[in-house]
Amino acid sequence: MSQDRLFESKVDELKPWQRSNLPDPSENRPGPVHRNAHDTERTASGLVFPRTGTLRLSALIALDRAGEAGLTHGELAEDTGHRHYSIAPRVTELVSMGWVVDSGRRRPTDTGSPAIVWVLSERGKADLL
């Protein structure tokens, strides 16, 4: 089997959340890889980007478990066992990718300040099935 067909067969075996995140390989655009990356680099990067690193994956799993109740950054940090300053930027990345959204609700932090309650977006819910 040629390497091209082998790669295509791997793409065919992907779960829906993985396929929906694939960048268009014909686009030469900046993203998780450098601007002049080959189409295979862009596609491979797109396959794993939302779930790369334990922090993004931990946040997705925790938000999925929380359901509509959602979690604040502090609650995510507590739930995942990661530091607040480490998990918050990962949530920002997931928001920019369309996987997580602001629920519109606020909960007090341990200091009493209001904090955004984050939930999976409709795309996040559908793609994580």
7-46 confidence digits (pLDDT tens): 444 445 555 544 455 444 444 443 455 556 667 766 666 6
pLDDT at 121: 94
Q: Which pTM does this prediction carry?
A: 0.62
Alpha-carbon gap, residue 32 to 14, rounded angstroms: 19
Specify the CATH number for 53-127; select among 3.50.40.10, 1.25.40.10, 1.10.10.10, 2.60.40.10. Answer: 1.10.10.10
Instruction: Express each pLDDT in 52-109 by its tens digit.
Output: 567 888 898 899 999 999 999 999 999 998 889 888 988 988 898 888 999 999 999 9
pLDDT at 35: 58
Q: Is 103 exposed, middle or buried (0-12, 13-18, 19+ CB in 10 A)?
A: middle
50 to each of 10, 33, 105, how far by Cα in Å? 18, 13, 24
- How much is the pLDDT for 2? 43
Domain extents in the chain: 3-49, 53-127
pLDDT for 50 equals: 53
